[in-house]
Amino acid sequence: MRLRPDNPALAAGRSIFFYKTKPVSEIKRVLQPAANNGKIGKGFTNIAKGKWRGVPIYTLTLEERATCPRDCSKWANCYGNNMRFATRISHIESDALCARIESELQDLLRMYRQVCIRLHVLGDFFSVEYVQFWHSMMAKHKDLLLFGFTHWKRETEIGMQLQGINVAFPERSWIRFSDQGGPMSANVEGVGIPCPEQTGKTKSCLTCGICWSTSEPVSFKEH
């Protein structure tokens, strides 16, 4: 759904479902099993094929627009506009958010041999310090895997920091740059390997694995 240019959410930089954004203190668990997501897990949590087979995926959902670059190509037609029931986690108290994430990561890594975090179902990397937090988590936890997408341009400070994570942990970090083309990109209706889940060739991200298996661009249908 594309918002009208006069929709207040665009100028304010917030979700149209802002009442679904909750502070960390009101969230029981910020990292949610992939089974809760209709595209990523569809009732299942563990990756079913490829080099990460057997690894559980947990997701993190922030507030769209509030954490995103304003030059995002999907600012008005973000797929979050269609996610009325999704709970978003506020990034305002960033120290509390990062502390909670680390605490939950430690719990998960005590339960599982490896854990993959999908960043972000909604939202984006909201500061350089937040990116550096994830870099530190990757350095500290050798069994932590990441995959996700960002609309930050590669040449921005945040974009360069994200590329740094991919370079530092090439087998464990797969952060793709949205609508920018080239290696490690994800392009809506653009050049790339068509998303197998969207074309009906596989059931979910868990049964696919392309996004963390090749640096080739991946192409998605418009949500």
Give the pLDDT confidence of 43-90 residue by residue, as tens digits.
Answer: 788 999 889 999 999 999 999 999 999 999 999 999 999 999 999 999
Residue 98 has pLDDT above 80, yes or no: yes
Phi, psi of 40 (to 5 degrees): -75, -50
Q: How far does CA 32 lie from the centroid of its chain?
A: 12
Q: Smallest Cα–Cα separation from 113: which of 50, 29, 54, 51? A: 54
Q: What are the strands, taking DSSP E only, across 56-152?
A: 57-60, 88-89, 115-119, 144-150
Phi, psi of 46 (to 5 degrees): -95, 140
Place of tokens 């709970």: 87
Task: Specify whether the backbone of 126 is left (phi greater than 0), alpha (psi in -120 to 50) or beta.
Answer: alpha
Other C-beta atoms lying within 10 Å of the C-beta of residue 207:
17
Tell me which of 157 and 202 has the higher pLDDT. 157
Cα–Cα distance between 114 and 13 in angstroms, integer? Answer: 35
- What average pLDDT score do residues 112-123 get? 97
**205 confidence band (pLDDT: 50, 70, 90):** very high
Cα–Cα distance between 32 and 160 in angstroms, integer? Answer: 28
Helical (H) or strand (E) element with 186: strand 185-188
How does pLDDT run across 142-191, given as a tens digit for each residue?
999 999 999 999 999 999 999 999 999 999 999 999 999 999 999 987 78
In this structure, is the dihedral angle defined by the CA atoms of residues 194, 117, 86 and 1, taken in order, positive or negative?
Answer: negative
